[in-house]
Amino acid sequence: MTDTPPPGARNATPPAGAARPSGQEGGAPGSEQKLWIERIPAGWWALAIVLLFMPAVANNFWLFQVFGWTFILGMIALSLMFLAGYGGMVSLIQMSVAAMGGYMVAILGPSGVETISLGLPWWLNIPLAILIAAVFATLVGALAVRTEGIYTIMITLAIASAFFYFTRQNYGIFNGYTGFNLVVPPMLFGVDWRQPVAFYYLSLGLAVLCYAAVVYVSRTPFGLALQGVRDNPRRMAALGFNVTAHRIAAYTFAGAIAAIGGILLVWQNSQIAPGTAGLPAVFDILVIAVVGGLRRPSGAFIGALIYVLLRTFSPDVLTAFELSNERFKLLIGLGFLVVVFFSPDGMLGLYDRWKANRGRRDPLTGKERE
């Protein structure tokens, strides 16, 4: 295993400041041949240790509500980041795909609505749910890739709201307005996965898995071709790549990730209803992904953490300012506006600029940085 970059990856990396993910995270360029494990920077090790030992210090509320929710929303936002960052397609359908996965788990597996739920065993209903959600994402993708840029946003938004209204009106399959309750994770290995600590590790594990999958796929020939399609579809088509197929496949992959997030979301709330994928939730995913930054997969989780913290603690802050604690949406909306105004590439962009500034200033003190 050499450290030579995959063909085209670094050469295609745009200059700093352009809103393009580089697809290279963690690997220090230009170093000697090292084991892959040595190339992971120290910050990541520290983060891993903090996350692994979190249950030792944090209470159940933090583990279950704050971090569990962060990982779930992060996964759904990650699927959007994959499409937008690597594929150049801003899709608002990801929350609906996640809800589709959640609904399928509730419909195929056991739930409180026994007239509809089929009660299949977990090893059958979870893969089926992910599969169906991925198929749904693929179908939407097949429609959406016929368009570009803002048209994609409009069309996926329209489909997302159609999904919301359909689930609300359909009582035969989706149980209409009420949705499904008592959807709980299976008792696997004798562990109740809805207990805070177990759920924390479950969501953490799946989030890491999804993160790794996105990073891995972004470096495979498929991921590189997808980034090529993002940068110049016509050139890629001329090179013999099937542009449409790459884009649709990206929707399928992102759909599977969103579905995993959706299933966890249902388990966390133990219920699902049309409002889970209502337009506010759909926009929230976009807000999370954009606030975090669409350049790299980690942005999705940063955005999710900020969103969850705001959402959880803004009532306290608002009460302190003697405002009704229902105004958190105003706060989130204003925060989103500020980020879009001043740092279109989100928190990651802020961090990158801060780092670049530091790198520029240091030669004055005579210290070599880069």
Partner 1 sequence: MRDFIAKRPVWSAIIALVLAVLLWLVLAPWTEAMEEAFGRKRVFLNAIFSGITLGALYFLVAAGFTLIFGLMRNVNLAHGSLYLLGGYLGFEVVERTGYWLLAFPVVFIVIAALGLLLQHQVFRRMEGEELRQTMVTIGLSIVLADIMLWIWGGQSYTILLPDWLSGPMTLPIHSGYDRSGDVAYLRYPLVRIAILVAAIVIGVAMWFTLNKSRLGMLIRAGVDDREMLTATGIRIQYVFLAVFGFGAGMAGIAGIVGGSFQSLSPGEDTRFLLASLVVVIVGGMGSIPGAAIGALVIGLADQVGLVYAPTYSVVFTFLIMAVVLAFRPQGLLGR
What distance in Å separates the CA atoms of residue 161 and residue 284, rounded to the nearest whole number?
14
**Contact of 54 with 205, CB cutoff 8 Å:** no
Pick from 7, 14, 41, 149 the residue near partner 1 by CB under 8 A: 149
Pick from 10, 34, 146, 360 the residue near partner 1 by CB under 8 A: 146
3-class secondary-structure state, position 274: helix
Q: State in angstroms the smallest separation of the CB of 266 from partner 1.
A: 23
Say whether residue 333 binds partner 1 (CB under 8 A): yes
For every residue of 238-278, DSSP letters joined together read HTT--HHHHHHHHHHHHHHHHHHHHHHHHHHHTEE-GGGGS
Pick from 18, 47, 187, 330 the residue near partner 1 by CB under 8 A: 330
Q: Which is nearer to partner 1, 24 or 147 (CB)?
A: 147
Tokens found for residue 123? 């090893």
Pick from 45, 61, 166, 177 the residue near partner 1 by CB under 8 A: 166
**Contact of 285 with 94, CB cutoff 8 Å:** yes
Stretch of 116-124, 143-151, 306-314, 348-356 lying at the interface with partner 1 (CB under 8 A): 143-151
What distance in Å separates the CA atoms of residue 48 and residue 13, rounded to the nearest whole number?
28
Say whether residue 286 binds partner 1 (CB under 8 A): yes
Say whether residue 283 binds partner 1 (CB under 8 A): yes
Say whether residue 325 binds partner 1 (CB under 8 A): no
Pick from 153, 184, 213, 310 the residue near partner 1 by CB under 8 A: 153
160, burial (CB in 10 Å: exposed 0-12, middle 13-18, buried 19+): buried
Element holding 301 (H helix, E strand): helix 298-320
- Number of residues this chain uses to bind partner 1 (CB under 8 A): 39
Q: Which is nearer to partner 1, 131 or 340 (CB)?
A: 340
Neighbours of 146 (CB within 10 A): 12
3-class secondary-structure state, position 272: strand
Tokens found for residue 196? 């805070």
Q: State in angstroms the smallest separation of the CB of 250 from partner 1.
A: 17
Say whether residue 157 binds partner 1 (CB under 8 A): yes
Pick from 169, 195, 319, 357 the residue near partner 1 by CB under 8 A: 169
Pick from 39, 194, 219, 327 the residue near partner 1 by CB under 8 A: 327
Greatest Cα-to-Cα distance within the chain, rounded to the nearest angstrom = 74
Going by C-alpha positions, the residue among 297, 226, 301 that lies closest to residue 81 is 297
Pick out residues in 85-104 that bind partner 1 (CB under 8 A): 90
176, burial (CB in 10 Å: exposed 0-12, middle 13-18, buried 19+): middle
Stretch of 20-28, 54-62, 124-132, 158-166 lying at the interface with partner 1 (CB under 8 A): 158-166
Q: Which residues bind partner 1 (CB under 8 A)?
A: 90, 143, 146-147, 149-151, 153-155, 157-159, 161-162, 165-166, 169-171, 279-280, 283, 286-287, 290, 324, 326-327, 329-330, 332-334, 336-337, 340-341, 344
